[in-house]
Amino acid sequence: MISGVDSIYARIRSIYDRINEIQRNISSINSTYNINSIKKTHTYEINQKNSTLPNKTFQEVLQEVMLESRTPEEKNNINIISKPEETWKEVLNIDTKENKFDKIIDEASSKFGVPRELIKAVIKAESNFNPIAISPKNAMGLMQLIPSTAKEMGVEDVFDPYQNIIGGTKYLKMLLDRYNGNLFLALSAYNAGPDRVDKTGGIPNIEETQNYVDRVLKFYKEYSQKSK
């Protein structure tokens, strides 16, 4: 039986996947249609095979998607999109500005003794500061925690920036301690899991993991230089 939390995660993932599908379809349309300023009168001819998006305006499609997550009572009293020119980030209330989470990052850094620049680098590599990011492997939020890790770190709401950053930093600190401060191994374990790192005794021969470690270290260096 799926637990209540898992059911919510699954539902969020389903809606998020559909939003991504809509974004991909809209991106493929003639470049004269600007997603940041699409007018209500615009309709789209989507000819993709098995497409479930008939001729509808951007607003109508997004309204339909967002309504799916509401109760019948909420559906009768909802007006998700009020202006034709609203963007995706405005509609979904997403703020991906890097400095928006600085206070939380500072607290997590002080609490666990992990450099703030490293925490920020991991967030940049994991979600690009998108608090509702969901990966194909069901990792969620700013620091891309999978449900089991989130539960282990005491995170109840992975999409809450505070809980996600505190939980993600706690996990990162555990990995750093596990590998005696070896940043390469800790980051590899964060991406691929500690079991794979322990089995190989080093960075796993996985292209995704190797690229991930390189990206985090690159961002870590950039943030460290900025803070000087």
Q: Which residues are catalytic?
A: 126
Are 26 and 164 in contact by the 8 Å Cβ rule? The answer is no
Calpha distance 134→159 (Å, rounded): 10
Give CA–CA dist 60/67, Å, rounded: 10
Provide φ and ψ at 128, rounded to 5°.
55, 40
Q: Distance between alpha carbon 142 and the CA centroid of its chain, in Å?
A: 5
Residue 140 bridge partners (DSSP)? 134, 145
Closest listed residue to residue 122, CA positions, set 169, 166, 163, 158: 169
